[in-house]
Amino acid sequence: MNVQFDKVKTLNALLYVSNRVQRKDFHKIFKIIYFADRQHLADWGRPITGDTYIAMDAGPVPSRLYDMLKIVRGDSYLSDTEGLDKYFQVENWMYVKPLQDADLDRLSPNEQEALSDAIAKYAALSYDEIKEKSHDVAWRSTARDFAINWDSIAREAGLDSEELECVNEYARLESALN
């Protein structure tokens, strides 16, 4: 499946989630966004962020979002040339402090709904509980520290082969138009 990363949606998903959960650590936020991306893919044929999820020990980690957080935290090989630090800060190495809310014009109503649903289902879970839930078949079928295949995430979301082919065809058409 050809999925395009959307930095603006990713930033706004981060702000949306971090403004609506009590525990704002990287792990919690990563998992909530993963579950929202997975559900949005099942419901609408594409994820919200298009990020590349890496199968790490603690579960799927959105690679580019993690890079954005490390830039602001100050331990990235990249510098903050885009002014990410005006949107959020990182405190105590792993906690997001949002400095503004998400721009809701940048997230569709169905994307907001997927994020809200993931928050409602997973925000109250402990570290171990959300870690266990994120260790799904897509994660388990991927070697540690490698990218999880979007087709595997789609199957985990409940799409069958025929639905997956429709999603892939839509992604090919969308890619051709861009």
* pLDDT tens track for 132-143: 999 999 999 999
pLDDT at 166: 85
pLDDT confidence band for 26 (50 / 70 / 90)? very high
| 60-81 as b/e: b if 16+ CB within 10 A | bbbeebbebbebbbeeeeeeee
pLDDT at 3: 87
Does residue 175 carry a pLDDT above 80? Answer: no
Does residue 146 carry a pLDDT above 80? Answer: yes
Does residue 1 carry a pLDDT above 80? Answer: no
pLDDT at 27: 98
Contacts of 33 (CB under 8 A, 6+ apart): 13, 14, 17, 48, 49, 51, 62, 65, 115, 118
Tell me which residue of 94, 89, 103, 76 sits closest to 7, measured CA to CA: 103
Which has more pLDDT, 175 or 21? 21
**pLDDT, tens digit, for every residue of 101-128?**
999 999 999 999 999 999 999 999 999 9
